[in-house]
Each structure stands twice: as structure tokens, then as C-alpha cells.
Amino acid sequence: MTTGISRDFKKEAESTLKDQFKKIIAFSHKLHQHPETGFQEHQAVRWLADELKTIPGVRIEVGLGKLPTALKAEAGTGELVLSICAEYDALPGIGHACGHNIIASAALGAFTALAPLADLLDIKVRLLGTPAEENGGGKVLMLEQGDFDGTHAAMMIHPGDVDEFEMLPYACSGYRVAFHGRSAHASAHPWDGVNALDAMTVALTAIGLSRQQLEPGQQIHGCIDSAGTAPNVIPELATGQWMVRAHDVDSLARVNAVLHRCLEAGALAAGARLEIEQDGPTYADFRTNKEMANVFARNSSAVGRPMAPASRRGGSTDMANVSHYFPTIHPMISLGAGCPPIHNIEFAAAAASAAGDKAIWDGALAMAWSCIDLAMPSDTRDRLLAQNK
């Protein structure tokens, strides 16, 4: 390794990022203008691969295992493997209202800045394109099929309304629910029917009442997709989607049991048949690597964006599952004063604004500089290497 005494790696990384930044912003805006939902990110992954092909010496694989919209790119052959995650799926109906165009572009920027330095730093820098964070747990599937194998440290940034060097998400599971009854004329022969809407109504009531006894940090929320077709027909089908969240996976298992009891109560009361299907993998609680988080916080401050500890718990992410296997960080980067909350149309607009572009620069540079610090000979590097042997 060439030491930092003779070379200023951070300055070189910043210079490379500056040279390529217009292209990176153009990539972000293109993603924003053409949103694709989970597992359908075919344009996004192709455009990301096209950008990576312009970087000399990068090894690129598009389509990993059973995931055609997953991607792996690597530069360098060093012992320390640093994985930077890119998300690029959008939300149905409201596009990039979670700012994944920013996440993907910051990851691309950090990788672009680090790739020419990888062998000098004795690292292998890896960019992982991870599909379907919103609705399918792409990272969980990638963990299962070995795409993260060899990682010593993983990171990504996420836009929001705060500048914080960590995220406190909930563990989470989602379910699709259907009550199956029997239709009948609601006036002439109602006694011949089994009312699926009644089953849903009882379940909703039970869930509402159960909230008084939920443990701190437990949540249940959902929506009804369908519940009948005409007022004079006994509904034979009622469907909905439910999510449960908790501080950790053990608490999540307990609140899962509450939800299932409430749904079963509705079916029992109405004489309907209940069908429950888990919708995607379970998302775990997040285990932030404090040493890495402190490194990122120092570098973000040096970039001009001071960071604070997490101020509140909220949301869920499949990056949390990665943190159970490898040292991981997930800093949050604000889109500025007056930033709307994520997952609404106003935030989607902000994700392609000047503040969104600034978040890409700051996030990419802070991640690149943090990777350089992790690569330097130190106890931190030694600890990261030792954790994955």
C-alpha cells in the first residue's frame, strides 16, 4: 500500500468525483424520470451498468442468481472488501418518493471515486445493486444467495429530513390477507351467505382494541384492498395488506402472534375461511457498527455536513438484515430546511432538486473518504478483517 504520507488519497478521490459528477447527476435524474418498482428495475440496472463500464478495470455482473435486476461491480483485488449498496426501486404511484435515485447515484459516485485507488489502498471495493428494497427484500435474497460473501464492511446513505450518522428502523413483516365467504342475495337469501366483509370488520375491531396492550415499539397497520362488489350481494371475498413492526425480531414475533389471533377471530366470528401469506422476507432490526459510524460522521463533517446520532425510530429496511452478518452503516442525509417527509409526492420532487443533487455529492464523498480511512493500516482495519475470517 502506498501510504498517505506520499499521496493524498482523499484529494484524489474528490478530484475524480468532481470530474464525473455531471454524469452522475444526469444518471440520478434519468432514474427519477423513469421510476420502476421492485424487481422491475430493468432500465435502472442497465443504466447503472452502462455508467460502470466507463470506469477502467471494473468487473461487472448484471443479474445475480435469481435476481435479474441485481448487480455486482468490483474494482481492486485487495484483502479488505468494502461493499457499497445502491437501491433504485421506486414506490408504486408516487415514483422516487423515498429518494432511491439519490441512493444509487451516491453509491455510484463513491465507487467511481474509489475504483482508481483500490489497489493502492489494498482493498476490493464492491458496488452491489440491490433491487426491491421497498417491497421485496432484495438484500435478504442477495444474502441468501451469497452476493455479500467476503464483505468486511457494508454501507449506503439514505436521503431524508435529518442529517444523522445512523438509522433506527423497526424490524418488520408484511402479510397479504384474504377472508373467503359465500355470496348470496343480501335481501332475498342473506342466511345462505357467509359474509367476508363481516370477518374483516371483526378483525379490524380486534386489531384496534389490541393496540392498547401492545408492547412499547410494536406497531400494526394495514389497508383493505377489496371487500365486496355491490351492496345487495353478500361479499364472498375481502382482502387486505398488513404490516407489523417492532424494535427487534423477538418482539416482532410476539406482535405477529397478536395480528394472527385478531385475523383468526374475524374468520371464526363470520364462519369464513382465512388465508394469510407473508409478503416478502422479514426485515430485521438494525445493528449499526459504531466504529464505522464515527468514521463516517467525521468525514461527513469534513465535507461540510455535520451529523448527529439518530433522533427517532422509524421505517424499516432490508439493509438491517445485512447488519446482522457484516459491520454496516446506514447514515441519513437531509434534503434541507423544509424537507417534506419521505413517501409522499413532495419528497419525490425534492429528490431531483438541487438539494437532492447536493445530497449525492456529500454522501458519495463522505462514503469514499470513509472507505479510505477504513483501508489505512490501523486497528480498525485489523478488526474488520478479523470479523469475517
Residues 90 and 63 in one domain: yes
Tell whether 160 and 16 lie within a shared domain. yes
Q: Is the pLDDT of residue 110 over 50?
A: yes
Q: State pLDDT tens for residues 180-196.
A: 999 999 999 999 999 99
Same domain (yes/no): 293, 274: no
Q: In one letter, which amino acid is 293?
A: A
- The answer as to whether 291 is a domain residue is yes
Asked if residue 116 is part of any domain, the answer here is yes
Close Cβ partners of 346 (under 8 Å, ≥ 6 residues apart): 340
List pLDDT tens digits, range 283-303: 999 999 999 999 999 999 999
Of 278, 300, 323, the one marking the end of a domain is: 278
Contact assessment for residue 296 and residue 165, using Cβ atoms and an 8 Å cutoff: yes
Judgement on whether residues 128 and 142 belong to the same structural domain of the protein? yes
- Looking at the domain assignment, is residue 269 inside a domain? yes
Helices in 271-329 by DSSP H: which ranges? 290-303, 319-323
- Tens-digit pLDDT profile for residues 230-256: 999 999 999 999 999 999 999 999 999
Q: For the chain, give the percent of residues with pLDDT over 90.
A: 96
Instruction: Work out the number of other CB atoms within 10 angstroms of the CB of residue 307.
Output: 22
For residue 5, pLDDT over 60 is answered with no
In a domain, 4, yes or no: no
- Whether 72 is covered by a domain: the verdict is yes
Q: For the domain that residue 16 is a member of, what is the CATH number?
A: 3.40.630.10
Give the range of the structural domain holding residue 201, as residue numbers without chain letter. 171-278
Q: Which residues of 320-343 are buried (b: 16+ CB within 10 A; e: fewer)?
A: bbbbebbbbbbbbbbbeeebeebe
Round to whole Å and give the CA distance between 275 and 175.
Answer: 10
pLDDT digits over 347-375, tens only? 999 999 999 999 999 999 999 999 999 99
Q: What is the mean pLDDT of residues 167-177?
A: 97
55 and 144 both lie in a single domain: yes
Considering the domain architecture, whether residues 80 and 116 belong to the same structural domain is answered as: yes
What mean pLDDT, rounded, does the chain reach? 96
* pLDDT band, very low/low/confident/very high, at 7 (cuts 50, 70, 90): confident
Rounded alpha-carbon distances, angstroms, from residue 116 to 22, 52, 113, 128: 18, 12, 7, 18
Domain co-membership, 219 together with 306: no
Q: Which of 256, 278, 300 is the last residue of a domain?
A: 278
Count of domains in the chain?
A: 2
Q: Find how far residue 165's CA is from the centre of its chain.
A: 16
Span 300-319, pLDDT tens digits: 999 999 999 999 999 999 99
Name 278's bridge partners. 175
- pTM comes to 0.94
Phi-psi region of 39 (alpha: psi -120 to 50; beta: other; left: phi over 0): left
Looking at residue 195, which CATH number applies to its domain? 3.30.70.360
Closest C-alpha to 385, from 149, 155, 152: 152
Do both 231 and 368 map to the same domain?
A: no
Listed in order, strand segments (DSSP E) in 46-170 are: 59-64, 67-75, 80-87, 123-130, 153-155, 158-160
Which pLDDT band holds residue 74 (cuts at 50, 70, 90)?
very high
Amino acid code (one letter) for 315: G
Residue 81 above 70 pLDDT? yes
Which cell is 54 given?
466507463
Same domain, 13 and 123: yes
Q: Is residue 335 part of a domain?
A: yes
pLDDT at 4 over 90: no
| Residues 182 and 327 grouped into a single domain | no
The answer to whether residue 3 is domain-embedded is no
Decide if 1 is inside a domain: no
d(CA 115, CA 377): 19
pLDDT at 198: 98
Given pLDDT bands bounded at 50, 70 and 90, which one contains residue 135?
Answer: confident
Among residues 225, 257, 278, which one ends one of the domains? 278
Do residue 36 and residue 181 come from a single domain? Answer: no
Please tell me whether residues 163 and 305 are part of one structural domain. yes
pLDDT at 6: 57
Render pLDDT for 140-167 as a digit per residue (tens, 0 to 9).
999 999 999 999 999 999 999 999 999 9
For residues 263 and 276, the answer to whether their CB atoms sit within 8 Å is yes
In the predicted structure, residue 105 carries a pLDDT above the cut 70: yes
